[in-house]
Every structure is written in C-alpha cells, then in structure tokens.
Amino acid sequence: MTVDEYNKCVDSYADGVYRFILKNIKDEDSAGDIVQDAFAKMWEKVKDISYEKSRSYLFTAAYHTMIDRIRKDKRWEPGDNMERFERSGEQGYSDLKEILDDALERLPEIQRSVLLLRDYEGYSYKEIGTITDLSEAQVKVYIYRARMAMKKYLVSMENLIDL
C-alpha cells in the first residue's frame, strides 16, 4: 500500500472504526486510543497490506486491541452482562436511540461486536469471522442470539414507557 492509499484509509475508515469501538466500550478516550493503535499497527505493516484489504485489517486490529484493553483493565467480567445494567423503576426513556443503545449495551461483548460489525458496518459473516477469529457458523449463532436478546428487550413494554 502506498502512503496516499494509507492516507485515504485514514480518511475513509477512521470514523467507522471509532464508532464500532465506541459502541462496544462506551469510553471516548479509550476508543480514540484503540483506533490510533489500529492505524499505527497498519502503518507498521503498510508494505505488506494491500489497499483492498485495509478496511478489514483495520477492523481486525481495532477489535483485537479492544479485547486486549478490556482484559487488561478487567472492566469486563463474563456472565455479568445482564445483571449489571438493571434499571430502576423511575428511569424512563423518550428517545428510541437511547432505548436501542441500552438494549445493545446489555448484550455480551462478543454478541454486541458481531452484531455491530454485521448491522452497522455491513460486513459479511465470513469477514466477521476473520475479524473476530470465529467460524462463520459461530458468527451466525452470536448474531442470532444478539438479535433475539434485542427483540426480547425491545418488545417488553416497561422498557419503552415511563414507569
């Protein structure tokens, strides 16, 4: 990849990678750091990466950096995904985006990641498998489970109206 192609990647993909990471970790500073790390990793291997594969490489690098950061900071504990986001009866929502974000936030990290890659970023199952080191079948299962959990949360009336 040439320097011009690298700069084009920065212009084209930085916002998408940032949104993907931010949706997962909810920390703007950390998301910015992770995106910057992903671009630094790509720069180190700029001679080995073709321009056509740059988008996939960036999302893969950012995803793995995010996972490493989560493990290092011990901010994420498996099995603690639904209970830690319990809402009180006084909290209400009037904005659909807030409701969707809350439903997305309740998903386990891997389900949230694959769902965001598929539905927000438009990756194929195979590409998501490459990014996350999962088989295509595992990706489909995680996406199905994530969509079912989102559906279950969204159809529950107490999540949609003020109590």
Domains and CATH numbers, the chain: 1-75 (1.10.1740), 89-163 (1.10.10.10)
Q: Which two tokens stand for residue 140?
A: 């489909």
Task: Give the confidence band of 94 by pLDDT, cuts at 50, 70, 90.
Answer: low
Contact 105, 26 (CB under 8 A): yes
Give residue-wise pLDDT tens across range 119-151: 888 888 988 888 888 899 999 999 999 988 888
Task: Give the confidence band of 91 by pLDDT, cuts at 50, 70, 90.
Answer: very low
Higher-scoring residue by pLDDT: 71, 85: 71
Q: What is the separation of C-alpha 66 from the centre of its chain, rounded to a whole number of angstroms?
A: 9
Give residue-wise pLDDT tens across range 32-41: 888 888 888 8
Give the ranges where 26-53 is alpha helix by DSSP (H). 28-44
Catalogue the long-range contacts made by 32-35 (C-beta closer than 8 Å, 24 or more residues apart). Answer: 33/69, 34/62, 34/65, 34/66, 34/69, 35/62
Q: What is the pLDDT of residue 86?
A: 42
Q: What is the pLDDT of residue 72?
A: 76
Give the ranges where 3-132 is alpha helix by DSSP (H). 3-25, 28-44, 54-73, 96-105, 109-115, 125-132
Q: Is the pLDDT reported for residue 8 higher than 80?
A: yes
Q: What is the pLDDT of residue 138?
A: 92
pTM more than 0.75? no
Q: What is the pLDDT of residue 92?
A: 46
Task: Give the confidence band of 85 by pLDDT, cuts at 50, 70, 90.
Answer: very low
Burial of 46 (0-12, 13-18, 19+ CB in 10 A): middle
Give residue-wise pLDDT tens across range 28-83: 888 888 888 888 888 888 888 888 888 888 888 888 888 888 777 765 444 444 44
C-alpha to C-alpha distance for 50 and 71, rounded to whole angstroms: 30
